[in-house]
Copies of this chain bind each other. A is one copy, B any other.
Amino acid sequence: MKRNSKLSIALHVLGHMAVKPEEPFTSEQMAAFAATNPVVIRRTLGQLRGAGLVTSERGKLGGWKLSKAPDAISIADVYRALDERLYVGNKGGDENPPQCAIEIGLAGAINQGLERAENAFQHSIESTTLEDLAAALRQ
């Protein structure tokens, strides 16, 4: 089992979809692309559907399609749709709020750093699109 593989699974299968944007792909086909399980594909693409990046149809002739042109979907769009963060801080719920003044000051410095890191990351991956990934496959 790989950790943090949701993004790479998603981008991998979306790259394949981008090669033939009109053709619906089943979750079984895509599971083969990414060497994983169809249910994992459905769960992951389900999140992307919620963000308007893909559509799905049930029944015979069903499957998944991109809902925009491949060059209109960036890696950053997918990253944000999956709601991932570079660094998951110590429990969002925070049932143990920091008491000590050190922890409080520390959280400020760290969080500012993380925010800048997050911005730098998203900015960097904003310029690569699914079309770029598909192009790599066509060669």
Q: From DSSP, what is the main secondary structure of chain A's interface residues?
A: helix
Report the copy number of this chain in the oligomer.
2
Contact with B along A108-139 (1 / 0, CB 8 A): 01101110111111111100100011101101
Q: How large is the interface on A (under 10, 10 to 19, 20 to 34, 35 or more residues)?
A: 35 or more
Chain B residue numbers with a CB within 8 Å of A102 are 11-12, 15-16, 133-134, 136-137
B8 touches A90 (CB 8 A): yes
Q: Does A72 contact B (CB under 8 A)?
A: no
A residues contacting B by CB (< 8 A) are: 2-5, 7-8, 11-12, 15-16, 33, 75, 86-91, 100-106, 109-110, 112-114, 116-125, 128, 132-134, 136-137, 139
